[in-house]
Amino acid sequence: MRKSLFIIADIHLMESNANITEGFLLFLAKVKKEGSALYILGDLFDAWLGDDMLSDYQKEIAEQLLELSQIIPCYFIAGNRDFLLGEDFAKKAGFKRIKKESILLAYNHKKYVLMHGDTLCTDDIPYQKYRKCVNNPLVQLFYRHLPKYVKYRLAKHLRERSKATNQKKSQAIMDVNQQAVELLAEKDKIDYLIHGHTHRPNLHKISLPTNHLAYRMVLGDWEQKGWYIQIDEIPQLIQFTWGNKTITPLKVLSEATLFPDFIKRE
């Protein structure tokens, strides 16, 4: 029996949240049994200060991912919280770090673009300027040479500033720009665009001038319940909860269940 592709984003792992950690480890156990590959689309951790500042907790997560990656291939695209995650941790975790902002994937005769999703939020101009700055190789080089206590203070300041700034922004500005989505879908002639970042899990149609049918699938964060995408014949966006060492699906979204005019594409 052919196994599934699994895709997640926005887990925001942190040592202080044992519940999310439990859910994540149970999810890895599921993928180990049922998966052919795992794609992590950013914000695996709630914060990342650098590969040279690993906590015991982060080392334990790396060991769990390494155990999985010895069975199936695992891939990672950085998010806005863990953009400093580098090759040292990737080797410890056994996954391949995708250095580009997106990956084009062909699977079961369909084309997918996988990405974190923050680059699609083009209406949020201050954030895009910030993103360009912190992803500058020279800025990152400078950061890596800072004393550890300075890194802690800087990270705390940036988190507090981000939280305060986001509270003042409209929800529309922090969502993806529809034109950016359509341009990307048309450029790569894709069937599915999959991303996280916005914490607004849903399934959307993408309107294209060529009448090509495409969909945008948005992963949710794991603060209350978990979300993953499982790809077999068609991708399914699945919400789940966990407890008693088991994962329990709560909701399944796919174009076959949401859109009555869905026609299976061969």
Run of H or E including 20: helix 18-34
User: What pLDDT is attached to residue 208?
Assistant: 82
User: What pLDDT is attached to residue 5?
Assistant: 97
Rounded to a whole number of angstroms, the distance between the first and last alpha carbons of the chain is: 19
Both tokens of 224, joined, read: 């209350």
3-class secondary structure, 259: coil
Supply the pTM of this predicted model: 0.93
3-class secondary structure, 250: strand
Domain-by-domain residue ranges, the chain? Answer: 4-258
Q: What's the rounded Cα separation, in Å, for the pair 246 and 266?
A: 34
* Digitized pLDDT (tens) for each residue of the chain, 266 residues in all: 568 999 999 999 999 999 999 999 999 999 999 999 999 999 999 999 999 999 999 999 999 999 999 999 999 999 999 999 999 999 999 999 999 999 999 998 999 999 999 999 999 999 999 999 999 999 999 998 999 999 889 888 887 887 787 777 787 788 999 999 999 999 889 999 999 999 999 999 998 877 788 999 999 999 989 999 999 988 999 999 999 889 999 999 998 776 655 444 43
Q: Which residues are annotated as a binding site?
A: 10, 12, 43, 80-81, 116, 124, 162, 166, 169, 197, 199
Per CATH, the homologous superfamily of domain 4-258 is Metallo-dependent phosphatases (3.60.21.10)
Q: What's the rounded Cα separation, in Å, for the pair 141 and 143?
A: 5
User: What pLDDT is attached to residue 23?
Assistant: 97
Q: Which residues are annotated as a binding site for substrate?
A: 80-81, 124, 162, 166, 169, 197
Q: What's the rounded Cα separation, in Å, for the pair 51 and 93?
A: 12
Within 10 A of 252 (CB to CB), how many other CB atoms are there? Answer: 14
Q: What is the DSSP string of 135-180?
A: T-HHHHHHHHTS-HHHHHHHHHHHHHHHHHHHHHS-TTTTSPPHHH
User: What pLDDT is attached to residue 266?
Assistant: 36
Q: Which residues are annotated as a binding site for Mn(2+)?
A: 10, 12, 43, 80, 116, 197, 199
Q: Compute φ and ψ for 214, nearest 5 degrees.
A: -140, 160
